[in-house]
């Protein structure tokens, strides 16, 4: 991990290279993270690739409901020669969940962005093939959203039924 100072130096360089990209830096429990603006994610990852973070280990989505902006997308980068990791975080609101896709530059993001689209409904602009990946194509809704009903079958045991318990209304 870049230590707290290293992270600030990295962020300062990034501010020079890509203006208005860095919103915040975070160094928590030895893990460095950059909060960036959604529109600049491609340039930020390109900058970090030049700094040795050549491997995009994971892209994942989050739902901060009921906070706003609600959705988060995180990019975990790995520097394989320096054994260094950094997280790039961005947030998008519910009414405009658009993030530029990084798939053209990082092919590994292809399926992971599709999964985030499937589970959270974040739309990745510029993705070559943005379809659902886990749920059926005609599925309605995005099941990992926190306001999505848990769904499934109501399980009522005899004991609960006698008490009039209703789990799913």
Partner 1 sequence: MEIVRREKAGSPESLRIRRQRAQELLRGPELEGAALEKYVTERVMTTTLDRALNWARANSMFPATFGLACCAIEMMAIVASRVDSARIGSEAFRATPRQADLMIISGRVSIKMAPIVRRVYDQMLEPKWAIAMGACSSSMGVFNNYAIVPADKFMPVDVHVPGCPPRPEALMHGIFKLRKKIMEDPDEGWRRRYEAIGTEEIVRRDDIDPLADSEVGTGDGRDQAVNVFKPGDTAGA
- Which positions touch partner 1 (CB under 8 A)? 134-136, 139, 143, 148-153, 155
Complex with partner 1: residue 107 or 149, whichever CB lies closer: 149
Complex with partner 1: residue 17 or 160, whichever CB lies closer: 160
The DSSP string of 82-151 is: TTEEEEEEEEE-TT--EEE--TTT-TTHHHHHHHHHHHH--EEET-TT---SSS-TT--S-TTSTTS---
Task: Retrieve residue 19's tokens.
Answer: 């203006």
Q: Please report how close the Cβ of residue 146 comes to partner 1 at its closest, in angstroms.
A: 13
Q: Please report how close the Cβ of residue 144 comes to partner 1 at its closest, in angstroms.
A: 9
* Exposed / middle / buried, residue 5 (Cβ in 10 Å: 0-12, 13-18, 19+): exposed
Residue 155 CA to residue 96 CA, distance in Å, equals: 37
Q: Please state, as a whole number, how many other Cβ atoms lie within 10 Å of the Cβ of residue 39.
A: 14
- Enumerate helices (H) and strands (E) in the chain, giving the number of each: 4, 7
Q: Please report how close the Cβ of residue 148 comes to partner 1 at its closest, in angstroms.
A: 7
Q: Please report how close the Cβ of residue 167 comes to partner 1 at its closest, in angstroms.
A: 10
Complex with partner 1: residue 30 or 151, whichever CB lies closer: 151
Complex with partner 1: residue 66 or 151, whichever CB lies closer: 151
Complex with partner 1: residue 57 or 134, whichever CB lies closer: 134
Q: Please report how close the Cβ of residue 159 comes to partner 1 at its closest, in angstroms.
A: 15
């Amino acid at each position: 991990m870049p230590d707290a100072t290293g992270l600030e130096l990295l962020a300062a360089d990034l501010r020079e290279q890509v203006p208005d990209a860095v919103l915040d830096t975070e160094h928590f429990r030895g893990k460095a993270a950059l909060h960036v603006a959604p529109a600049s994610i491609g340039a930020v990852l390109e900058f970090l690739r030049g700094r040795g973070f050549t491997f995009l280990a994971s892209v994942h989505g989050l739902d901060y409901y009921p906070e706003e902006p609600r959705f988060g997308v995180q990019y975990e980068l790995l520097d394989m020669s320096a054994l260094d990791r950094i997280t790039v975080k961005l947030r998008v609101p519910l009414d405009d969940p658009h993030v530029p896709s990084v798939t053209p530059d990082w092919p590994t993001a292809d399926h992971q962005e599709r999964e985030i689209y499937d589970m959270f409904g974040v739309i990745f602009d510029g993705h070559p093939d943005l379809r659902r990946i886990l749920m059926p194509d005609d599925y309605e809704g995005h099941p990992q959203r926190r306001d999505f009903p848990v769904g499934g079958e109501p399980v009522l045991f005899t004991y609960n039924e006698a008490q009039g318990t209703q789990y799913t209304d």
